[in-house]
Every structure is written in C-alpha cells, then in structure tokens.
Amino acid sequence: MNLIEQPPYGLSHNEKAPRLLHELKALTEHHRQACPAYARVLSAEGQWESSDANDLAQLPWLTVPLFKQRELRSIPDDAVFKVLTSSGTTGSVPSRIFLDNDTAKRQSQVLVRIMQEWLGKQRRPMLIWDHPSVIQNRASFSARGAGIQGLSFLGRHHTYALHDDMTLNLEAIRTFHKRFAGTPVFMFGFTFMVWRYGLQALQAQEIHLPFEDAVLLHSGGWKKLEAEAVSARIFNETARNQLGNLSVHNFYGMVEQVGSIFVACEHGHLHCPSYADILVREPGSWRVLPHQQAGVLQVLSVLPTSYPGHSLLTEDRGRILGEDDCPCGRTGKYFEALGRMAKVEARGCSDTFENAGGSQ
Amino acid sequence: MATDQVTAAFAKSLGLPESDITEHLAYGSIKEWDSTAHMVLIAELEDVFDVMLDTDDIIDMSSVAKAREILRKYDIKC
C-alpha cells in the first residue's frame, strides 16, 4: 500500500520506515531517468551512483539553492501545470518548482488530509491574515500566494483581513466576526504577518473580537519574532486575548515541498505526517545526527514526481525531539525548527553541490 | 428541457461555453479549471444546490461526472 493512502498520523516507525524508503528510492530512480540535470548531480557525487540505500540517511539529497541555479524538472514543457517561485533569503534569483497536474493534485490531497486532523472535514469560514493581491498571477505564485491558495481549499467565505498597505481591514474583519463568531472558523496567515499586522495592530487599537471556536494556523519562521522576544507562548496568549477561543498551530513547510507540512500539536511539537519525514545533519560532515542534537534539517516527501524535490537539505536548523511517543498520541517523528542556518554554514553547503554539479 | 444546472455552474465558474462542458472534462486538464477556478466552482455549486460540500468532496471532484456523483450523495437530482 502507498503511504499517500494512509492517515496522516497513524503509522509507527516499523510500519512507516520500510515503505518510505521504498517509495523514496523509487522516486530517486524516476527522477534520475527523467531529469538529466538531477542525474548529473548524482553521478558527480560518486557515492550516489547506486540505488542500494538501505536506510533513509543514505538517500541522495539536493540543496534548496540548487532550484535557483538550475531548472530541475522531470516533465516536458507541455506538462507544466503551474510554476511555484520562491526567492528565499539568499540572492535574488527565485527557486522555480515545476508542477504537473498529478503532483499538484497529490499536494492538495495530502494537504487536505493533514489539515482535516486539525480542522475537521467541514470547511469553515476562513479569515486570511494577508491582503488579497498576494494571489494575482494564477500561473505563477509566490510562496505566500501558494500557501494561501493551497489552504483556501479548506475554507469558505474567504475573507482577507488586511488592506494592500497592510493595515487592518476592520470593516471586513468586523463583518466576518459578526457573521461567524459563534461558529467554527479557520484563520490562516504567515507567522510574522499575523503578529505584526494582525495581532499587534488589534492590540494597539484595543480591538477585541472574540470568536467561540477558531483554529489559527500560521506558518513561517520565528526569527523576526524572536528578535522582538516574542515566544510561541506570548503569540498564543495575545491571539486569545484579541480573538477569543483560538487553538493556535504553527506549521513548517517549504515551497519546494508544498503539501508536505509539519503541523505543531497542542504541545508545540512539529509532527511528521505519514507522507514525509525529517533527518537532521551536522553542518560540514553532513552526517545524520541522533535525536535531540541540533543540526540542519533534511526534508523527505513522497509527493514530488514532476521535479526532483523528494529529498532536500534545507537551510533551516532544527532537532528531532522523539518518535512515536509524543504526549499528544500522534505517531511519527516530532521535532522543533530553530531558524535559519548561519550564512557561513549555508554557503559551505551550497558550495558542496556547486562542485558536485560542476562536471556537467 | 431546462438547462442542466451542473453544466451551467461549470460553464459560469470556468468561463467556458456550455458546449465545452462534457462529462469527462477533468480538473487540471485545461488551464481554465485550475485550483483558483475550482474554488469558484465549489462556491457556485454550493449556491445553486444549497449544499455544504466538505473537504473530501472538493478533493474528489475531479471531473464533471464525479461532481454529479458527489452531489447525488446529498440527494440532489442532477
């Protein structure tokens, strides 16, 4: 059975690990055949010539900046359904992620399956802590646009809480509140946007709009918030203070692996769903680190068939906290994200792969 | 015979003439039926048939024929 057909948090390590390895090896072979640029990177790295990996740590990976430097795709021109772009933090060239119909569909399916765990199956009225122009060009979305677009599937009566100039659209928010305060609602935004332009703005204007049953999902780094000494606890308390009975869940995900998201449970632990996994590597040696030790996050996903993004070394740091034993009861690895790597480390790791691909 | 309401809802949401809406028309097979249009379509179907579709329905609604199958689940004749 394929992992994609499994519930998101129901497989133990022994059930998941062999299937995941099998599917990721098959994806590696698929992309090696279908994407010459990917095959060149692997063969330049010698040890990745063979496909006899017997655990996840031995699978080849790409670094995220490679998607800026090369056009990496495993589909012909006429199969391109959508191109996702992300500028990231380094350089001005955006990553380009090529999606065909199948991959896009799989991403939506998995996203919905994961989110049903946190929101239920009903589509709730949705308040988006962003401005509407973030979704403009339908054929080419920014990371922010793609995130909002993907999650819109889960809501109804989509309402944008901000104006284009990032000020509160109080009329829209109040109308939404008046209509839906007593019913289950869904709120979504990027962590920093929700904080700076949503919660802080409400707080400054002393506006309280209590909802009876809201779920706030937010994604994106804490770095900017940490600089302001805003912890998850302060964020969540402020959210409840301004907006009533909210359950707040951060999630971690990348535009290079849309659909594979890691949602924080009620204990604040980010959880790997059945379709994805995490490894932590030591910068420099790139060996896999044991649980509890902080290093660079590698994300694995069974979703991408249209581009070779099933195994990626991120530029983010984190550490695995445990597996199958989170007090929330969900199975799988759980971890915390610790922000971006230092620039020096990041450069070291993209250099490795510049060299790796240099023989083409 | 009155215009078929499902066909009309698809034509309106995707911005296509009704003659282009065949039973086998599939999500993602034409540029007009992308994820953005899909949400417009869902809202339109909910409006026309006074039904609340859940997230499974949205994911399953991969073709015009499939849309009818889903609507029938809610005792809608279409």
DSSP assignments along A268-315, one per residue: S-EE--TTEEEEEE-TTT-PBPPTT--EEEEEEES--SSSS-SEEEEE
Look at chain A and report how many structural domains it folds into: 2
Decide if B78 is inside a domain. no
Looking at residue A352, what is its pLDDT? 47
Decide if B26 is inside a domain. yes
CA angle A73, A52, A333 (to 5 degrees): 75
Answer whether B55 sits within 8 Å of A112, measured CB to CB. Answer: yes
Neighbours of A62 (CB within 10 A): 24
Confidence tier at A91 by pLDDT (50, 70, 90): low
Decide if B54 is inside a domain. yes
Decide if A344 is inside a domain. yes
Answer whether A109 sits within 8 Å of B28, measured CB to CB. Answer: no
Q: Are residues A60 and A114 in the same domain?
A: no
Is the model's pLDDT at A18 over the cut of 60?
A: yes
Q: Are residues A277 and A237 in the same domain?
A: no
**A66-70, A116-120, A187-191, A195-199: least confident range:** A66-70
Decide if A98 is inside a domain. no
**E-state strands within chain B:** none
Q: Tell me if residue A184 falls in helix, strand or coil.
A: strand
Q: How far apart are CA A318 and CA A296, in angstroms?
A: 6
Most confident of A94-103, A127-136, B4-13: B4-13
Q: Are residues A130 and A151 in the same domain?
A: yes
Looking at residue A229, what is its pLDDT? 82
Looking at residue A346, what is its pLDDT? 57
Question: What is the mean pLDDT of the segment spanning A202-214?
Answer: 97
Nearest CA in chain B to A154: B55
Q: Are residues A116 and A247 in the same domain?
A: yes
CA angle B25, B26, B27 (to 5 degrees): 135
Question: What is the mean pLDDT of the segment spanning A171-175?
Answer: 98
- What number of C-beta contacts closer than 8 Å exist between A and B? 51
Looking at residue A220, what is its pLDDT? 82
Looking at residue A353, what is its pLDDT? 47
Answer whether B55 sits within 8 Å of A154, measured CB to CB. Answer: yes
Decide if A4 is inside a domain. no
Q: Are residues A125 and A248 in the same domain?
A: yes
Cα dihedral sign, A227-A231-A232-A237: negative
Q: What DSSP character marks residue A223?
A: H
Look at chain B and report how many structural domains it folds into: 1
Looking at residue A139, what is its pLDDT? 56
- Looking at every residue in chain B, the average pLDDT score rounds to 92
Residue with tokens 């289950």, as numbered in its chain: A184
Residue A122: which of B34, B43, B54 has the nearest Cβ? B54
Q: Pick the residue of B45, B58, B59 with the most A CBs within 10 A to test the interface with A by mutation.
A: B59
pTM: 0.88
Looking at residue A54, what is its pLDDT? 86
Is the model's pLDDT at A359 over the cut of 50?
A: no
Q: Are residues A287 and A153 in the same domain?
A: no
Give the residue from A218, A252, A286 where a domain finishes: A252
Decide if B12 is inside a domain. yes
Q: Tell me if residue B26 falls in helix, strand or coil.
A: strand
φ, ψ at A344 (rounded to 5°): -60, -45
Q: Which domain holds residue B65?
A: 5-73
Question: What is the mean pLDDT of the segment spanning A31-54?
Answer: 82
Decide if A101 is inside a domain. no
Cα dihedral sign, A284-A290-A293-A295: positive
Neighbours of A238 (CB within 10 A): 19
Q: Which domain holds residue A222?
A: 106-252
Is the model's pLDDT at B2 over the cut of 90?
A: no
Give the residue from A228, A252, A276 where a domain finishes: A252
Provide the CA A222 distance to its chain's centre, in angstroms.
14
Position with higher pLDDT, A346 vs B49: B49
Answer whether B35 sits within 8 Å of A116, measured CB to CB. Answer: no
Looking at residue A202, what is its pLDDT? 97
A69 Cβ partners below 8 Å, 6+ apart?
A93, A354, A357
Question: What is the mean pLDDT of the segment spanning B59-68?
Answer: 95
**A66-80, A103-117, A133-147: least confident range:** A133-147
A-chain residues within 8 Å CB-CB of B46?
156
- Looking at every residue in chain A, the average pLDDT score rounds to 89
Q: Tell me if residue A203 falls in helix, strand or coil.
A: helix
Looking at residue A152, what is its pLDDT? 87
A241 Cβ partners below 8 Å, 6+ apart?
A203, A208
Tokens coding A332: 């799988």
* pLDDT tens column, A322-334: 999 999 999 999 9
Decide if B45 is inside a domain. yes
Q: Are residues A114 and A73 in the same domain?
A: no
Question: What is the mean pLDDT of the segment spanning A153-171?
Answer: 94
Looking at residue A303, what is its pLDDT? 96
Decide if A32 is inside a domain. yes
Answer whether B58 sits within 8 Å of A123, measured CB to CB. Answer: yes
Nearest CA in chain A to B62: A105
Question: What is the mean pLDDT of the segment spanning A215-238?
Answer: 88
CATH of the domain at A148: 3.40.50
Residue B59: which of A112, A149, A152 has the nearest Cβ? A112
Answer whether B35 sits within 8 Å of A153, measured CB to CB. Answer: yes
Q: Are residues A122 and A201 in the same domain?
A: yes
Q: Are residues A83 and A153 in the same domain?
A: no
Looking at residue A137, what is its pLDDT? 57
Residue A81: which of B28, B36, B39 has the nearest Cβ? B28
Decide if A181 is inside a domain. yes
CB-CB contact of A113 with A153 (8 Å): no
**A25-29, A284-288, A344-348, B9-13: least confident range:** A344-348
Looking at residue A32, what is its pLDDT? 94
Q: Are residues A133 and A209 in the same domain?
A: yes
Decide if A218 is inside a domain. yes
Nearest CA in chain A to B28: A101
Looking at residue A14, what is its pLDDT? 96
CATH of the domain at B43: 1.10.1200.10
Give the residue from A252, A272, A305 where a domain finishes: A252
Confidence tier at A44 by pLDDT (50, 70, 90): confident
Decide if B40 is inside a domain. yes
Q: What value of ipTM does the predicted structure carry? A: 0.80
Confidence tier at A301 by pLDDT (50, 70, 90): very high
Looking at residue A357, what is its pLDDT? 33
Looking at residue A17, what is its pLDDT? 95
The CA-to-CA distance between both ends of chain B, in Å, stands at: 13
Q: Are residues A353 and A270 in the same domain?
A: yes
Q: Give the β-pairing of A155-160 and A244-252.
A: unpaired
Answer whether B55 sits within 8 Å of A81, measured CB to CB. Answer: no
Decide if A286 is inside a domain. yes
Q: Are residues A248 and A267 in the same domain?
A: no
